Amino acid sequence: MILSTETQIETIEHHFKAIMETLGLDLSDPSIATTPKRVAKMYVEELCSGLNPDNFPTPTFITEGFTPGEMIEIQNITVSSLCEHHFLPFFGTANISYIPTTKILGLSKFNRIVDYFCRRPQLQERLTKQIVETLSLLLETEDISVTIRARHLCVSLRGARDTASETITVVRRGVFEERRR
């Protein structure tokens, strides 16, 4: 069940206020009085908007101007998401390679589809797989590879406090998988 946007914002505002008060913060301070509302709107309207299927971008296909069988690569697509274990951001880039069959997608659609799956609590491994599976269906090709390289704030701000390491996830299908063997 998906609640209405208004109900989601009101409920999160209520609970986030309780979190801040539990931490001993004084919500009568004008500087933070409206923080619960701001945080609630940020989660519902921005960081978690990809939980609502209505927000999936409308794909526009192009059926000419390319050669079927010749690889297309899109590099350095912005990845900016939220780790589902800590609700802290992870961010980096995605590279997509695919071999078109009968159609290709407009270039900005790759950014929008990546962004749609980023806007929900995620695991980098699942995010990579969701992008591959969705693009494979839309493009009607088995030959697709997605690599995501990202830094996780749950690794740098807390826990190991490692600010240099990056996580790289790769999902290869079709010829990209075969070439690796």
Q: Does 158 bind Zn ion (CB under 5 A)?
A: no
Q: Is 86 in the site for Zn ion (CB under 5 A)?
A: yes
- Choosing from 46, 84, 166, 178, the catalytic residue is 84
Pick from 85, 126, 158, 179: which binds Zn ion (CB under 5 A)? 85
Between CA 46 and CA 172 the distance in angstroms is: 29
Residue of 10, 48, 86, 142 marked active site:
86
What single-letter DSSP state applies at residue 59? P
Paired sense of beta strands 104-105 and 89-98, if any: unpaired
Binding region for Zn ion (CB under 5 A) out of 22-30, 104-112, 129-137, 151-159? 151-159
Residue among 123 and 170 whose Cβ is closer to Zn ion: 123
Residue type, 55: N
Determine whether 152 is an active site residue: yes
Does residue 154 bind Zn ion (CB under 5 A)? Answer: yes
Give first-to-last CA distance, the chain, whole Å: 44
168 by DSSP, 3-state: which?
Answer: strand
Residue nearest to Zn ion (CB): 154
Q: Which two tokens stand for residue 113?
A: 């589809």
Residue 166 CA neighbour count, 13 Å, CB half: 10
> Is 82 among the residues that bind Zn ion (CB under 5 A)?
no
CB of 92 to Zn ion, least distance (A): 14
CA angle centred on 69, ends 101 and 146, rounded to 5°: 80
Query: Coil, strand or helix: which one is 150?
Result: strand
Among 79, 83, 132, 146, binds Zn ion (CB under 5 A): 83
Q: Does 153 bind Zn ion (CB under 5 A)?
A: no
Q: Answer yes or no: 83 catalytic.
A: yes
Q: Does the annotation mark 124 as catalytic?
A: yes
Q: Which two tokens stand for residue 144?
A: 């697709």
Active-site choice (13, 118, 122, 152):
152
CA distance 135 to 61: 12
Task: Confirm or reject binding of residue 14 to Zn ion (CB under 5 A).
Answer: no
Q: Known catalytic residues?
A: 83-86, 124, 152, 154
Binding site for Zn ion (CB under 5 A): 83, 85-86, 154
